[in-house]
Chain A
Amino acid sequence: MDMNEIKEIFFQECEEQLAELESGLLKLNDGDRDPETVNAVFRAVHSIKGGAGAFGLDDLVSFAHVFETTLDCVRSNRLDPGPEVLKVMLKSADVLADLTNAARDGGSVDEARSRQLIKELEALANGEVPQASAVAEPVAPVSKAAPVAVAPVVNDEGFQPVAFSFDDFETDEPASMEMPTYEIVFKPKSDLYAKGNDATLLLRDLSRLGEMSIHCDMDTLPSLDRLSPETAYFSWKVSLKTDKGEDAIRTVFEFAEWDCDLDVSLVSGETAPVGEELPMQPVPFDLSILDDEPVGPIGVIEEEEQLAAQQEIRNAAVAAAGTASNVLQMAQSAARAPAEKSAGAAASAAAQSAAAQQAAASAATPTIRVDLDRVDRLINLVGELVINQAMLSQSVVENDANGTSSINMGLEELQQLTREIQDSVMAIRAQPVKPVFQRMSRIVREIADMTGKSVRLITEGENTEVDKTVIDKLAEPLTHMIRNAVDHGLETPEKRLAAGKSAEGTVRLTAKHRSGRIVIELADDGAGINREKVRQKAIDNDLIAADANLSDEEIDNLIFHAGFSTADKISDISGRGVGMDVVKRSIQALGGRINISSKPGHGSVFTMSLPLTLAVLDGMVVTVANQTLVVPLTAIVETLQPEAAAIHSFGSNQRLISIRNSFCPLVDVGRILNFRASQANPVEGVALLVESEGGGQRALMVDAIQGQRQVVIKSLEANYTHVPGIAAATILGDGRVALILDVDTIVAASRGQSLKPEMSLAAAG
């Protein structure tokens, strides 16, 4: 594994963390105040920052850092996550997602936006709660001096960062003329060993700095019978000749400095070069401390520490024979001690919260990550297995008419197992619709912002599972529908209030399983379809006759016609030349159906029903000119046996069929695909009434219907080449290849001429 692969993992993880972040923020938005939710949100940003830092993604790090700081305020109860705060946070989550994408794909981000949000986040962290917008309920004015929403600091997490330098000690300082010698007195406390530190190792590290002589002081070692094995008795006095400076010596004891008494003093030689730059202004240094007076500027400190601090300062004073900077350093490190100690109480609180977290830990199902390729290969193989099993069954039936019962039973079992394997394998590809749904909440926020509407998105059934391919292809039509729902469906806050509704509109996105399909509903509580307007528009656009008598439902469904838009003004959002007709077509391309029902004044509901997988298809197996074809069942509205009286000719060779007093063009599939030169006699065949992309109906003529079955889809492009009018192929139980009809292209072709012969099946063989 190399860094690029790890980077890839990092971005995958970012996706997950971003999803986690958003769902957590949305939970908070719904009033969830579970500390674990806040923690999860914090962790998500924290993780992204951590990884981004490792890859030097500075933009991402700096934004995540500001975000994290603000979230930390929420985590420590210093900032109440009210609606206005969450608004900023949700937007920040969006920017974080943009920054992540930019870091991965090299795109650019809206810098002004991220700068603005950094400001807003910083303001929140500083206790400034934004004023609610005009739409929301008025919030009592918040004075900056006494912020209402800022809870008093109840625990010690409100720490002030203390400057702490970890500069490399291997600085290129010129060697001084004479090597300075330090005397180091090191007395470990028992705690040092309890925390896994080891005096030997510390001394070993020390010895690497220069020439060293060690004296071990064993005076306090009691006799064996009184010796407590876990008590520290030894102390060491070290004389070290080094040009690395005192900082380097202290760095050795970095991990141990709280758990030992440590004196470092310069006994001879030039002043050690100082690795870090310190302000050189003179600082008042009160020598009276040397007389054990209480230390004024350091504040209240505990006795032990006071002594230690003073000891250090005394040492500093000794070293003051050197430069003032050394003294400063000492004084600083002495002053540091109490600040760190003050946070001590937090540890017990941390222990408690850790225990609480452990208790609240949800039993997560273990998962593994698998390459999609492997799953696809498995699915493909299972597809082959299903076909093979069907072939086997058929040949057994053909060759052994009386049926040896043991073979038949075995076959039946095999069939059942195959089916189970198929279902299980399909389930591997099944994914919850959650990621797509989550993306929608961002879209809702953006459009709500653009349109000045106040919108609440409620999602239900996010864990409903469907094939990954379906999920991937669902995002686009769904995005468009959501845009429409907010832009056209919902009214402005003023209009809503005037209509006696709440200012905030609701869009509800629901997913559920229903009879082997997934049903996705998108409901808004807006004004509903303005039928008069739709009708007028349809008349203007010559879609319907001026006197057409349409049911409410028929009018509602007119919006799926190409180029239909009822918004008075074409807005930035919906008016991108993409209409609901495109949505409908993409849903149909997935083998799905879409419907709308609307109640004036109460809103509209779009209902989509989609297959759970694109790997298998419910099809009607038909015969056309001795060829076996499969027609997707979703396209077929009804089938009928034409009577001679119902067939009408017009034009040179066009025919219509009259069905319940309306005319429908008759399309001879065999002729379109160039299976035969002349038109078949409709009366001898079967007509399949299909709905095409324009919404119009056509009757497809086939010779006979063989039956209906689920078929495994085999891509024609991958195995052969694209053939117009054919969507894919499948292998039937008898081992023959059958082509799956692309109904839309067939219908489109029927409008003009037949498919270009050189491209068509007859030519392809």
Chain B
Amino acid sequence: MKKRVLTVDDSRTIRNMLLVTLNNAGFETIQAEDGVEGLEVLEEANPDVIVTDINMPRLDGFGFIEGVRKNDRYRAVPILVLTTESDAEKKNRARQAGATGWIVKPFDPTKLIDAIERVTA
């Protein structure tokens, strides 16, 4: 069974990169454009792992993570945060919201896959 990854990012560029990278690595990828859409498709996507951006319109990454953690079925799904800032403050906020880990941009396919494999069985 392919692992299912839900990606949430408002940038079309990053969405496409995630899609290509994840598909090449043998994941099934479901994409959402912001936190609101991410929560909407959560049930249907039924992800094994979630990758989300922080800065997004409508509902940002922090809010989205909190939303996922409130969902009984998905509250234990690993969530990785994509962040350009490698500063501890952003990570800490994401962590407090319930993020499992993070991937520091600029986007690097190896780092992404590594991080996903670290948090999924």
- Chain A contacts to B: CB under 8 angstroms: 1-3, 5-6, 9-10, 12-13, 39-40, 42-43, 46-47, 49-51, 53-54, 56, 61, 156-157, 159, 161-162, 164, 166, 193-198, 200-201, 205, 254-255, 258, 336, 339-341, 343-344, 346-347, 350-351, 354-355, 357-358, 361
Contact = CB atoms under 8 A, between A and B. Distances in A.
B105 A53 contact: yes
Nearest to A42: B55
Nearest to B19: A1
Nearest to B56: A43
B118 interface: yes
A46 B84 contact: yes
B76 A196 contact: yes
Interface residues of B, number: 50
A715 B96 CA distance: 63
B14 A54 contact: yes
Given A195-B99, A198-B119, A347-B96, A50 B87 contact: no
Interface of B: 10-14, 16-17, 19-20, 35-36, 55-60, 62-63, 66, 69, 75-79, 84-89, 92-93, 95-102, 104-107, 118-121
Nearest to B121: A201
Nearest to B104: A166
Contact of A361 (B16, B59, B75): B59
Contacts of B20: 1-3, 6
A43 B10 contact: yes
Contacts of B93: 343, 346-347, 350
Nearest to A43: B55
B95 A258 contact: yes
Contacts, number: 162
26 contacts: A10-B12, A10-B13, A42-B55, A47-B10, A47-B55, A50-B106, A54-B13, A156-B89, A159-B87, A159-B88, A162-B89, A196-B77, A196-B78, A197-B119, A198-B121, A254-B101, A258-B92, A339-B88, A340-B89, A343-B92, A343-B93, A347-B93, A350-B60, A350-B62, A351-B97, A358-B35
Given A50-B84, A357-B63, A194 B69 contact: yes
Contact of B13 (A6, A166, A200): A6
Given A51-B13, A357-B58, 14 more contacts: A1-B20, A9-B13, A46-B84, A47-B10, A47-B13, A159-B89, A194-B75, A194-B98, A200-B121, A255-B119, A347-B96, A350-B93, A354-B60, A358-B36
Contacts of B119: 196-198, 201, 255
B33 to A, nearest CB: 10
Contacts of B57: 39-40, 43, 357, 361
Contacts of A54: 13-14, 17, 105-107
A304 to B, nearest CB: 16
